[in-house]
Amino acid sequence: MAERALTANTSDVLDVLIIGAGFNGAYQLYRLREAGFNVRIYEAGDRLGGIWYWNCYPGARVDTHVPNYELSIEAVWKDWNWSERFPGWDELRRYFEHVDKTLDLSKDIEFNTWVSGAEFDDTTNQWTVHTADGRSTQTRFLIACMGFAAKAYIPEFEGLGDFEGPCHHTAHWPQDGLDMTGKRVGIIGTGASGVQVAQEAAAVASHVTVFQRTPMIALPMRQRKLDAETQTKNKAGYPALFRQRAVSTSSIHDIIADERGAKEVPDEVRQAVFEVAWQKGGFHFWVGTFADILQDEQSNLMAYEFWRDKTRARLNDPWLKEKLAPTKPMHPFGCKRPSLEQNFYDIFNQDNVSLVDVRETPITRITHTGIDTSADTYDFDILVLATGFDTSTGCFTQLDLKGSSGIGLDQIWADGVKTQLGYAIPHMPNLMMLYGPQSPTAFCNGPTCAETQGDWIVRCLTDLRARNLSRIEATDEAAVLWADHLAEVGEGTLLPQADSWYMGANIPGKRRELLYYPMVPAYLQACEESAANDYEGFELS
Ligand code: N01
CATH of domain 14-48+105-151+391-540: 3.50.50.60
Assess whether the C-beta atom of 62 lies below 6 angstroms from ligand 1.
Answer: yes
Assess whether the C-beta atom of 506 lies below 6 angstroms from ligand 1.
Answer: yes
Assess whether the C-beta atom of 69 lies below 6 angstroms from ligand 1.
Answer: no
What is residue 329's DSSP assignment?
Answer: -
Q: Hey, which of 169, 193, 331, 512 would you mutate to test ligand 1's pocket, going by the most ligand atoms within 8 Å of its Cβ?
A: 193
Distance 398 CA to ligand 1 centre (A): 20
* pLDDT recorded at residue 12: 85
Distance 215 CA to ligand 1 centre (A): 11
* pLDDT recorded at residue 11: 52
Distance 228 CA to ligand 1 centre (A): 34
Assess whether the C-beta atom of 214 lies below 6 angstroms from ligand 1.
Answer: yes
Q: What is the pLDDT along the chain (541 residues), one digit of tens a residue?
A: 333 333 334 458 999 999 999 999 999 999 999 999 999 999 999 999 999 999 999 999 999 999 999 999 999 999 999 999 999 999 999 999 999 999 999 999 999 999 999 999 999 999 999 999 999 999 999 999 999 999 999 999 999 999 999 999 999 999 999 999 999 999 999 999 999 999 999 999 999 999 999 999 999 999 999 999 999 999 999 999 999 999 999 999 999 999 999 999 999 999 999 999 999 999 999 999 999 999 999 999 999 999 999 999 999 999 999 999 999 999 999 999 999 999 999 999 999 999 999 999 999 999 999 999 999 999 999 999 999 999 999 999 999 999 999 999 999 999 999 999 999 999 999 999 999 999 999 999 999 999 999 999 999 999 999 999 999 999 999 999 999 999 999 999 999 999 999 999 999 999 999 999 999 999 999 999 999 999 999 999 9
Assess whether the C-beta atom of 192 lies below 6 angstroms from ligand 1.
Answer: yes
Distance 351 CA to ligand 1 centre (A): 25
Ligand 1 atom showing the smallest separation from residue 194 Cα: 19
Give the separation between CA 427 and CA 476, rounded to whole angstroms.
8
Using alpha carbons, list the distances in angstroms from residue 359 to 214, 363, 372. Answer: 8, 9, 14
Assess whether the C-beta atom of 501 lies below 6 angstroms from ligand 1.
Answer: yes
Q: Hey, which of 506, 507, 515 would you mutate to test ligand 1's pocket, going by the most ligand atoms within 8 Å of its Cβ?
A: 506
* pLDDT recorded at residue 8: 39
Nearest CA to ligand 1 atom 12: 191
Distance 341 CA to ligand 1 centre (A): 14
* pLDDT recorded at residue 4: 34
3-state secondary structure of 192: helix
Distance 5 CA to ligand 1 centre (A): 39
Assess whether the C-beta atom of 187 lies below 6 angstroms from ligand 1.
Answer: no
Assess whether the C-beta atom of 386 lies below 6 angstroms from ligand 1.
Answer: yes
Assess whether the C-beta atom of 388 lies below 6 angstroms from ligand 1.
Answer: yes
Q: Hey, which of 387, 435, 495, 510 would you mutate to test ligand 1's pocket, going by the most ligand atoms within 8 Å of its Cβ?
A: 387
* pLDDT recorded at residue 7: 39
User: pTM here?
Assistant: 0.96
Assess whether the C-beta atom of 191 lies below 6 angstroms from ligand 1.
Answer: yes
Nearest CA to ligand 1 atom 9: 388
Q: How far is CA 385 from the centre of its chain?
A: 18
Farthest CA pair distance, the chain? 70
The single-letter code of the amino acid at 513 is E
**35-40, Cβ contacts within 8 angstroms, sequence gap of 24 or more:** 35/458, 35/461, 35/462, 37/461, 37/465, 38/12, 38/14, 39/14, 39/15, 39/108, 40/7, 40/14, 40/16, 40/108, 40/109, 40/110, 40/137
Give the separation between CA 340 and CA 216, rounded to whole angstroms.
10
The DSSP H or E segment spanning 187 is strand 184-188
Neighbouring CB atoms inside 10 A of 226's CB total 18
- Which residues face 115 on adjacent strands? 131
Give the separation between CA 398 and CA 391, rounded to whole angstroms.
11
Nearest CA to ligand 1 atom 46: 387
What are the sequence ranges of the domains in the chain? 14-48+105-151+391-540, 160-227+250-385
Distance 314 CA to ligand 1 centre (A): 23
